[in-house]
């Protein structure tokens, strides 16, 4: 049973996967078990993406399948996951940039992994990022940028975060097409990538280590 759903998700059989998940829900599958199975399916897609066997559009479809199954099982309520969030990411597209497709894709994937996301939207001014970091105390600040004209605001944000001592015990992450330009050198940024899975894995690994550290304290 478990294998069948994993396979249907990995093969991106949207309606079949959802129908089969519905059957499992009717049969009373435990929420955690269903969640774990869907995650395994998504991991399969992730592996295929990394080896070039599938494309970004497939990732979008896999995210849709996960979202629909979670919705059918009532695993997400009001955009919040029912599981205890494993961490908090503050996300926004930098000032003067209104592109949000990549940002939203990343946000869906993070939420599907049980990570809480605060979405500041697009065209976000440096001051708004700073205020939100103070208010929400995220584990990770994730910024999206595809416009080369917006690069100076990324540096401004890095400087402001450092000046206000807001980078301690958290990570500052950049994604979007600008990371292709090797002149983007912002010392405060911990990691940058325009690879969806690399970004997701970076967040997961950091949060796992942070949570382990908190338990051992
Ligand atoms: C769709 C699009 C638009 C749509 C945006 C719709 C929307 N809701 O986002 C519209 C039509 C509104 C638009 C407007 C404009 N656009 Co436009 N647009 C594009 C286009 C075709 C695709 C961008 C996209 O969504 N890609 C798909 C997503 C999934 O990719 P992505 O953003 O890179 O995200 C991926 C990764 O980078 C990563 N990622 C993204 N963010 C983050 C964040 C973190 C933390 C992590 C870890 C990962 C991560 O995950 C994603 C999945 O892999 C690109 C061309 C291109 N091929 O990229 C031009 C492009 C970005 N646009 C461009 C321009 C110039 C404009 C306009 C100025 C046009 C105009 N004259 O009005 C305006 C911008 C206004 C503004 N101030 O922002 C230029 C930018 C040039 C530059 N170097 O600065 C591009 C490159 C086109 C070109 N070749 O000239 N655009």
CATH code reported for the domain at 2-80: 1.10.1240.10
Ligand 1 centre to CA of 90 (Å) is 20
Q: What integer pLDDT is reported at residue 75 of this predicted model?
A: 63
Q: Assess contact for 92 and 122: CB atoms under 8 A.
A: yes
Which CATH number is correct for 84-216, 3.30.365.10, 3.30.300.30, 3.40.50.280, 3.30.750.200?
A: 3.40.50.280
Among residues 149, 190, 150, the alpha carbon closest in space to that of 169 is found at 190
3-state secondary structure of 46: helix
Q: Which residue has the higher pLDDT, 158 or 183?
A: 158
pTM above threshold 0.75? yes
Task: Answer whether 2-80 and 84-216 agree in fold.
Answer: no
Atom of ligand 1 nearest to the CA of 146: 61
Q: Which of 62, 146, 189, 199 to mutate to test the pocket of ligand 1 (most atoms within 8 A of CB)?
A: 146
Please report the atom of ligand 1 found closest to the CA of residue 96: 77
Atom of ligand 1 nearest to the CA of 179: 37
How far is the centre of ligand 1, averaged over its atoms, from the C-alpha of 103 (Å)?
Answer: 10
Which residues approach ligand 1 with their CB closer than 6 A?
A: 56, 96-103, 105-106, 142-144, 146-149, 173-177, 193-194, 196, 199
Confidence of residue 33 (pLDDT cuts 50, 70, 90): confident
Q: Which of 113, 169, 165, 117 is nearest to 143 (CA)?
A: 117
In the chain, where the domains are located = 2-80, 84-216
Q: Is the pLDDT of residue 56 over 90?
A: no
Burial-class residue 42 by CB neighbours within 10 Å (0-12, 13-18, 19+): buried
Tens-digit pLDDT profile for residues 125-166: 999 999 999 999 999 999 999 999 999 999 999 999 999 999
Distance 146 CA to ligand 1 centre (A): 5
Separation of CA 178 and ligand 1 centre (Å) = 10
Percent of the chain with pLDDT over 90: 59
CA atoms within 13 A on the CB side of 30: 4
The structure tokens 């605001």 sit at 153
Q: Are 90 and 111 in contact (CB under 8 A)?
A: no
Distance 101 CA to ligand 1 centre (A): 8
Contact 65, 93 (CB under 8 A): no
């Amino acid at each position: 049973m478990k294998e069948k759903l994993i396979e249907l998700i990995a093969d991106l059989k949207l309606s079949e996967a959802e129908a089969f998940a519905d059957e499992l829900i009717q049969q009373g599958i435990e929420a955690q078990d269903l969640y774990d199975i869907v995650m395994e399916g998504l991991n399969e897609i992730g592996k295929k993406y990394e080896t070039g066997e599938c494309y970004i559009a497939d990732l979008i479809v896999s995210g849709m399948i996960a979202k629909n199954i979670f919705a059918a099982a009532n695993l997400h309520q009001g955009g919040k996951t029912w599981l205890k969030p494993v961490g908090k990411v503050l996300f926004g597209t930098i000032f003067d940039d209104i592109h949000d497709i990549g940002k939203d894709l990343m946000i869906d994937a993070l939420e599907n992994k049980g990570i809480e996301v605060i979405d500041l939207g697009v065209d976000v001014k440096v001051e708004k990022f700073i205020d939100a970091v103070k208010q929400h105390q995220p584990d990770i600040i994730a910024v999206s940028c595809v416009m080369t004209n917006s690069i100076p605001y990324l540096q401004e944000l890095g400087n402001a975060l450092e000046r206000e001592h807001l980078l301690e015990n958290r990570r500052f992450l950049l994604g979007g097409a600008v990371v292709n330009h090797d002149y983007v050198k912002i010392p405060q940024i911990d990691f940058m990538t325009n690879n969806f899975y690399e970004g997701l894995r970076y967040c997961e690994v950091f949060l796992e280590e942070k949570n382990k550290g908190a338990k051992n304290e």
